[in-house]
C-alpha cells in the first residue's frame, strides 16, 4: 500500500509497479518475479493460421460498459470496466490451433477454463431465454379475463419466474466477467513463419556493417561518460534511486540531436509527429494487451487512481482513435511519437544492465501505423526497413532477428528485433524492435474502419454501407535514446578519449563534430 501526504498544498501519490512487456528486452525476461517493491513519488495537484482466419480470431468490437466498476482487493483502485467482445465461438471451433499457439508462445493462458466458462455461459443464456419466454406467456395470459384464483396462480408463477431470472441474470453477468478476464489473457495468433521456441530459436534476417576495429584498449560507455563528464549516475541514485541518471554537457545535446534527427528522417517517410501524454488510464494499457496491475510488473501505476506512467508511446498513440470508425480513405495512419518512458525493470541486475543499458526513465521516438488488414505485413517490412536505414546511416554494425514464438509479447503476431554491436560491453544489445499486432489491439481499443462502398453499386444510403472492419496496428522503435547514446559512445571512441559525432547528427547538434575530454 502506498502512502499519501501533503506538503505545501501538494499531494504526493505513490506509484506502484504493474506489468508491461519490456521495450528493449524479450517478453519472457519481463515476466520474472519482482525481487523487491519499488516506489516512485509523483507530484500531482489536488500459430500457423492464415491471415483471414487470424483476423476473426479474438473478438468483435471492444465494448465500454457503463455503471459497473471493479476494485482490486490488493490495490483498492477503482477501475472502469471494459470488455473486448471476443469471438468465443471462433476460439471454440479452432481450439486445437489456439491451444498450440498458447503452447508455442509459452503463455499461461488457460484455454480449458475459457472453453468451460463459455459452455456454462451458453447454457445459462439458454435458460435465461427460456424463462423470459415463459414470463412473457404468463404476462399475456394475465391480460385476459380470469378468475381471481387463476390470476393469483399466474401472479405467483410470474414472481417465481422473476426471482429465478434475477438469480440467473446475476450468474450470467458474473460468468461474462470471468470469461472476459480469462479470455483476454489469450495471446494473439502467430505468423506461420515465426520460429517456434525460446529466444535462442530466433532466426537471423540480416547483418549490416562490420564491427569497428580499435588499435587501443576500448572503454565502455560508463567509463567514457565519466571521463567526458556526460553522465552522473551517483547523484541520480541519491535523488531518485538506482537506474536513474543525469545527462550532462554534450550528452544533452546528443539526446536532443538524436530525437530531432530521428523525427526529421521519419517525417520524410510520411509519418505525422506527435508528443503524447505520459500518464494514461490503466484500461488503455490493458486494451493495448498489457497488464498494468499484474503480479509481475514493469509499469509504474499511480495508487489511488486508474492511471499509469507509460512504458512506451505505443499506448497513448494506440488510444488516439479508441472507439472510433475511420473512413477507409484515411488509412494508413502513420505516427511518430516522442515521449519519455518509465519502466520498473524489475529483477534486472548485473553487468548486462550496466549504465544506460537498462534504466527506469528514458526518451524514445516510436513509430505507429494503423492500416488495412491486407497491408500489415508490407508495413511491417517498411518499419524494419526504416529502422535499418536509420541505424545504417549512423554507421552502426547490427543484425536483424526474426524473434521466436516464446519471445513475442501477447499482442505481437510477429516481431523483428535490431541488435547492435556494443564494443565496450563486448556483445550485441537490442536497440529496437518492430511488431505487427494485427487486430489484437484494435479489437480491444475498438478501432475500426469502413471500407468504401462498391463503385458498381449505384444505390446510396445507410443500408448499403459496407460493414466495418478492424484496422491492424504496428509499432516500431525509431530511437531509444539511452541505448543509442551507448552505441555511439562505444563505437566512435578515439584513442585520446574523445568521441566522434556521426556526420548525420552534426547539423542537429550545432555543428559539433567531436566530444573531447574536459580540462581539469
Binding-site sequence positions for L-serine: 312, 343, 366, 475
Binding residues: 312, 343-345, 359-362, 366, 430-433, 475
SS3 179: helix
SS3 418: strand
Which residues, at least 6 apart from 7, have a Cβ–Cβ distance to it below 8 Å?
none
Q: How many CB atoms lie within 10 A of CB 262?
A: 24
SS3 17: strand
Pair 396, 491: CB distance under 8 Å: yes
HSE of 374, CA atoms in CB hemisphere, 13 A: 2
Distance of alpha carbon 373 from alpha carbon 441, whole angstroms: 13
CA distances from 10 to 2, 4, 15, 246 (A): 16, 10, 16, 25
| Phi, psi for residue 419 in degrees, rounded to 5 | -120, 120
What is the dihedral sign for C-alpha 86, 73, 348, 362?
A: positive
Q: Which residues pair with 499 in a beta bridge?
A: 493, 515
Binding residues for ATP: 343-345, 359-362, 430-433
Residue found by looking up cell 509497479 in the block: 17
Distance of alpha carbon 242 from alpha carbon 262, whole angstroms: 29
**CA-wise closest residue to 403 among 150, 205, 110:** 205
Q: Dig out the grid coordinates for 74 from the structure.
A: 490488493
DSSP state of 42: E
**CA-wise closest residue to 480 among 393, 365, 403, 338:** 365
Amino acid at each position: 500500500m502506498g502512502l499519501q501526504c501533503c506538503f505545501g498544498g501538494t499531494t504526493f501519490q505513490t506509484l506502484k509497479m504493474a506489468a508491461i512487456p519490456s521495450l528493449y528486452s524479450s517478453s519472457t525476461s519481463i515476466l520474472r518475479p519482482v525481487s523487491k517493491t519499488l516506489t516512485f513519488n509523483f507530484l500531482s495537484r489536488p500459430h500457423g493460421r492464415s491471415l483471414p482466419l487470424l483476423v476473426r480470431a479474438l473478438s468483435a468490437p471492444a465494448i465500454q460498459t457503463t455503471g459497473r466498476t471493479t476494485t482490486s482487493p490488493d490495490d483498492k483502485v477503482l477501475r472502469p470496466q471494459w470488455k473486448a467482445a471476443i469471438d468465443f465461438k471462433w476460439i471454440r471451433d479452432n481450439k486445437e490451433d489456439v491451444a498450440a499457439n498458447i503452447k508455442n508462445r509459452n503463455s499461461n493462458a488457460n484455454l480449458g477454463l475459457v472453453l468451460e466458462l463459455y459452455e456454462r455461459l451458453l447454457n445459462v443464456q439458454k435458460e435465461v431465454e427460456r424463462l423470459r419466454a415463459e414470463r412473457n406467456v404468463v404476462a399475456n395470459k394475465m391480460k385476459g379475463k380470469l378468475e381471481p384464483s387463476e390470476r393469483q396462480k399466474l401472479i405467483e408463477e410470474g414472481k417465481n419466474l422473476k426471482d429465478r431470472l434475477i438469480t440467473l441474470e446475476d450468474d450470467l453477468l458474473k460468468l461474462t466477467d470471468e470469461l472476459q478476464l480469462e479470455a483476454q489473457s489469450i495471446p494473439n495468433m502467430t505468423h506461420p513463419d515465426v520460429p517456434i521456441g525460446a529466444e535462442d530459436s530466433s532466426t537471423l534476417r540480416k547483418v549490416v556493417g562490420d564491427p569497428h576495429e580499435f588499435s587501443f584498449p576500448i572503454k565502455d560507455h560508463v567509463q567514457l561518460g565519466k571521463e567526458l563528464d556526460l553522465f552522473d549516475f551517483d547523484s541520480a541514485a541519491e535523488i531518485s534511486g538506482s537506474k536513474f541518471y543525469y545527462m550532462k554537457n554534450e550528452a544533452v545535446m546528443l539526446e536532443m540531436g538524436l530525437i530531432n534527427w530521428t523525427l526529421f528522417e521519419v517525417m520524410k517517410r510520411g509519418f505525422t509527429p506527435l508528443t503524447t501524454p505520459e500518464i494514461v488510464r490503466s484500461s488503455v494499457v490493458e486494451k493495448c494487451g498489457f497488464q498494468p496491475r499484474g503480479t509481475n510488473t514493469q509499469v509504474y501505476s499511480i495508487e489511488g487512481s486508474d492511471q499509469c506512467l507509460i512504458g512506451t508511446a505505443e499506448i497513448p498513440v494506440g488510444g488516439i482513435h479508441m472507439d472510433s470508425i475511420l473512413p477507409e480513405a484515411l488509412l494508413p495512419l502513420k505516427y511518430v511519437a516522442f515521449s519519455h518512458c518509465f519502466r520498473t525493470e524489475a529483477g534486472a541486475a548485473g553487468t548486462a544492465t550496466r549504465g544506460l543499458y537498462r534504466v527506469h526513465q528514458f526518451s524514445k521516438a516510436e513509430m505507429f501505423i494503423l492500416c488495412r488488414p491486407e497491408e500489415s505485413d508490407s508495413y511491417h517490412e517498411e518499419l524494419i526497413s526504416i529502422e535499418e536505414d536509420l541505424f545504417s546511416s549512423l554507421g552502426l554494425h547490427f543484425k536483424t532477428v526474426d524473434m521466436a514464438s516464446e519471445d513475442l509479447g501477447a499482442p505481437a503476431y510477429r516481431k523483428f528485433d535490431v541488435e547492435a554491436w556494443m564494443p565496450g560491453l563486448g556483445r550485441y544489445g537490442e536497440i529496437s524492435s518492430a511488431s505487427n499486432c494485427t487486430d489484437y489491439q484494435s479489437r480491444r481499443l475498438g478501432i475500426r474502419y469502413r471500407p468504401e462502398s462498391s463503385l458498381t453499386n449505384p444505390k446510396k444510403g445507410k443500408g448499403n454501407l459496407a460493414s466495418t472492419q478492424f484496422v491492424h496496428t504496428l509499432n516500431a522503435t525509431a530511437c531509444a535514446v539511452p541505448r543509442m547514446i551507448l552505441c555511439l559512445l562505444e563505437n566512435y571512441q578515439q584513442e585520446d578519449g574523445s568521441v566522434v559525432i556521426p556526420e548525420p547528427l552534426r547539423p542537429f547538434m550545432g555543428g559539433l563534430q567531436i566530444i573531447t575530454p574536459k580540462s581539469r
